[in-house]
Amino acid sequence: MGPLVEVLQERHRQLEQAAFQRGAHPELEEPPGEAVAERGAVEEPIVDEVTGDPVHRRLGQAGATHQLGQREHLVVDGEDTQDRHRLAQHGVEVRALVPWPAHPNSVPLSGTPGSRSAPVPLDALPMADTTLATDSVSGSVLAAAADRLREADRTGVPCPPIRDLIASDDLAAAYAVQQLLTAERVAAGATVVGRKIGLTSEAVQQQLGVDTPDLGVLFDDMAYEDGDVVPADATMQARAEAEIAFVLADDLLDGPLDRGQVRQAIGHAVAAIEICGSRVAGWDISLADTVADNASAGVYVLGSRHRSLDDFEPRDVVMSMAIDGEEVSTGSGDACLGDPIAAVQWLARQARDLGAPLRAGQLILSGALGPMRPIAPGQTVRSTVSGLGSVTFTVGSENRE
């Protein structure tokens, strides 16, 4: 994976340069009337307590932060967007970040966020880097896989599977494709707010013909609130599944990342529905297809009732999901890898191995509690999870413009 890391970092640099050239970073400009002494000055370097690397920060801000393997500092963002407000209500941190050079042993999954009010169009960015390669797949093949998924997203027309390009069980290549597409999204203005764990339910694994979990990236523009109308074209070939979402209070970086540590790091839980989507026609996916397609992430809806782990036990919950009042899916906490906490533990270790550890303030969708179900415009979906209450959304009858 060494060459992959180096090429992803170079790809990152190119995307960052393209974003700055197109003026996609107005948040870096000093606001009129504010003194440089308050905002513009830079202190002496501080030392990263994890790596020993120097990290700079701006005066008056929260100091150095980390997101997905990058060394980064906060930049005040004056735009109070609807997405940010929705997530802040759940304690999820949404921050505009500017990257400090990545640690050489990390695989950066995020790019350089631009202003959401002035994003860089994806078609204005460099195409997937054809020099990228893994031990098993050439850079040009990875680029072709990314291009196919990107075009499906752009046109709204599902594409053929990518397993004619990479082997159905080649996770290194699949995650490399996911990273390319993630970097492009972030460079275009999206902000990473957490992760999702996919394929945790035996029922869902049987539906899709796989036998291991996977992980994807959550962006700020995926979030919806309880009772919202979700546009019909928010994701392709939409399917809903009921889950427990967790918001982290502490980083999951050091130590054994055992069950006790993971439980301690969780701030609160909330009922959630993930609206999964696939850019692959007919959901004809292998493990590599769904991993490359960001673990088939679409959008998600969060309930309004927050509970700590002192108030309920995730593995003991019972779930029922209904569409237009008719029960269509049932399940329980132990259907999610035996315990949703075990799913978060799996994710924490995988994320750290990828050089992108989980951080305080991030949202974690822990995986399906029962089978996913297809949804259609005009339908109302409601999930009830014991101990956490219910969460509801309606699929919009018309696609957004």
Report the candidate in 132, 221, 184 with the shortest Cα–Cα distance to residue 18.
Answer: 184
Residue 216 — pLDDT band, cuts 50, 70, 90?
very high
pLDDT digits 0-9 by tens, 85-134: 667 667 776 543 322 222 222 223 322 222 222 222 323 223 333 344 56
Q: What is the DSSP letter of 201?
A: B
The two tokens of residue 322 are 């209904």
Share of the chain above pLDDT 70, in %: 65
Q: How far apart are CA 358 and CA 360, in angstroms?
A: 7
CA 213 from chain centre, in angstroms, equals 15
Q: Is the pLDDT of residue 20 over 70?
A: no
3-state secondary structure 91-121: CCCCCEEEEECCCCCCCCCCCCCCCCCCCCC
Cβ neighbors of 262 (< 8 A, separation 6 or more) are 252, 341, 344, 345, 348
- What DSSP string describes 348-385? HHHHHHTT--B-TT-EEEEEESS--EE--TT-EEEEEE
Q: Is the pLDDT of residue 14 over 80?
A: no
Structural domains of the chain sorted by starting position, each given as residue range(s) with its CATH number in brackets = 2-395 (3.90.850.10)
Q: Is the pLDDT of residue 66 over 60?
A: no
Compute CA distances 11 → 38, 111, 151, 362, whole Å: 33, 9, 20, 25
Residue 196 — pLDDT band, cuts 50, 70, 90?
very high
**Among 46-55, 100-109, 136-145, 304-313, which stretch is predicted with the lowest mean pLDDT?**
100-109
Report the candidate in 157, 159, 311, 289 with the shortest Cα–Cα distance to residue 244.
Answer: 311
Residue 139 — pLDDT band, cuts 50, 70, 90?
confident
Helix (H) or strand (E) holding 289: helix 287-292
Residue 212 — pLDDT band, cuts 50, 70, 90?
confident
pTM of the model: 0.71
pLDDT digits 0-9 by tens, 303-336: 999 999 999 999 999 999 999 999 999 999 999 9
Q: Can you give the pLDDT at residue 131?
A: 40
pLDDT digits 0-9 by tens, 240-299: 999 999 999 999 999 999 999 999 999 999 999 999 999 999 999 989 999 999 999 999
Q: Is the pLDDT of residue 70 over 50?
A: no
- For residues 1 and 158, the model is more confident at 158
The mean of the pLDDT values for the chain is 75
Q: Can you give the pLDDT at residue 8?
A: 42
Q: Can you give the pLDDT at residue 210?
A: 72
Report the candidate in 243, 264, 270 with the shortest Cα–Cα distance to residue 252.
Answer: 264
Report the candidate in 243, 265, 222 with the shortest Cα–Cα distance to residue 359.
Answer: 265
Identify the residue whose tokens are 């197109």: 22
Residue 378 one-letter amino acid: G
Q: Can you give the pLDDT at residue 327?
A: 98
Q: Can you give the pLDDT at residue 354?
A: 85
Q: Can you give the pLDDT at residue 271?
A: 98
Q: Is the pLDDT of residue 149 over 80?
A: yes
Q: Can you give the pLDDT at residue 123?
A: 30
Helix (H) or strand (E) holding 160: none
Share of the chain above pLDDT 90, in %: 59
Residue 278 contacts residue 285 (beta carbons within 8 Å): yes
Average pLDDT over residues 140-165: 95
pLDDT digits 0-9 by tens, 350-389: 999 988 899 999 999 999 999 999 999 999 999 999 999 9
pLDDT digits 0-9 by tens, 289-307: 999 999 999 999 999 999 9
**Among 9-18, 186-195, 335-344, which stretch is predicted with the lowest mean pLDDT?**
9-18
Q: Can you give the pLDDT at residue 192?
A: 95
Report the candidate in 124, 173, 177, 362 with the shortest Cα–Cα distance to residue 265.
Answer: 362
The number of beta carbons lying within 10 Å of the beta carbon of residue 154 is 10
- Phi and psi based region of residue 393 (left: phi greater than 0; alpha: psi -120 to 50; beta: remaining): beta
Residue 121's Cβ-side half-sphere holds a number of Cα atoms within 13 Å equal to 3
Q: Can you give the pLDDT at residue 83?
A: 61
Cβ neighbors of 45 (< 8 A, separation 6 or more) are 54, 55, 56
